[in-house]
Amino acid sequence: MESIEHRTVEVNGIKMHVAEKGEGAVVLFLHGFPELWYSWRHQILALSSLGYRAVAPDLRGYGDTEAPSTVNSYTCFHLVGDIIALIDSLGVDKVFLVAHDWGAIIGWYLCLFRPDRIKAYVCLSVPFRPFLGRNPKQKTVDFFHSLYGDDYYICRFQMEAEMAGVDTAYLMKNILTTRKTGPPTFPKGEYGTGFNPVTPDTLPSWISQEDLDYYVTKFNKTGFSGGLNYYRNLNLNWELTAPWTGAGIVDVPVKFITGGVDLVYTSPGMKEYIHNGGFKKDVPTLEEVVVQEGVAHFNNQEAAEDVSNHIYDFIKKF
């Protein structure tokens, strides 16, 4: 990874760390939770070799990017504002957007608020409607309840302490290697086995000890509050985006890629939404849905070459 360049840019009132390589049209990669720019290491190398400028930031609150201390500094407007400022700093009007997990949610907001800055969008794992355009008051409670059990209102603000009680290396290995389907759940009152009740003794072939060590080093330094604060703003995001209620994505070409055993894809109602017309109704510009059989949530790492090929095959048309 020595050939990937790193720099810090001022965006939207914070300092953001950016990794990049290559020249040409910009492909902007947004990571999820609990990840870093590093999650796109394979795609950065692949797309830069194909004539693109691959750019991947550590998002607000992650890695070497600044992490504001207040919870309400992580609304969708802050997150989108960061990315628009980053695009401005790159000296381009539009980018190809590729995003995964929480990055995918930011990607949908970008396509909704600023479609003028996005040439095309390759979305991984999280489709449009589940987090946007509907009242999440009850949905958010249900989501956190699935994570933290009956003590949702307490654990919502104690999750950092519970995660801090677990070795970061185990925690990251536990999350990144999970193949448990359906919504992620934690045992009530403790992290326990977390996302993955069968954490393997050895790492799968698609992630090395060196890769895991990179994540561990960064999260040992920053903790997880920044990433958790994204979830804590789901209700506020709905309130702030009331003017867009019912709006869909109509101006940006979209390709969606998910693993067949992804924990989002296998959550109740998700396959029906994706395949039975709901997704296409909300995103009329959806051109293709790809399901990678046997692949789990972190498909940009587990099936890196396949994801890179799918990205290239889509964006080369524009």
Residues annotated catalytic, as ranges: 101, 231, 297
Q: Where are the beta strands (DSSP E) in 107-260?
A: 118-124, 254-259
Give whole-number Cα distances, 207 to 72, 161, 212, in Å.
Answer: 34, 27, 7
Dmax over Cα atoms in the chain, in whole Å? 51
How far apart (Å, rounded) are the C-alpha atoms in residues 292 and 224?
Answer: 29
Give whole-number Cα distances, 26 to 1, 48, 97, 309, in Å.
Answer: 19, 9, 9, 16
Instruction: Give me the amino acid identity at 316.
Output: K
**CA 105 from chain center: how many Å?**
7
Instruction: Give me the amino acid identity at 208.
Output: S
The length of the chain in residues reads 318
Number of Cβ within 10 Å of residue 55's Cβ equals 25
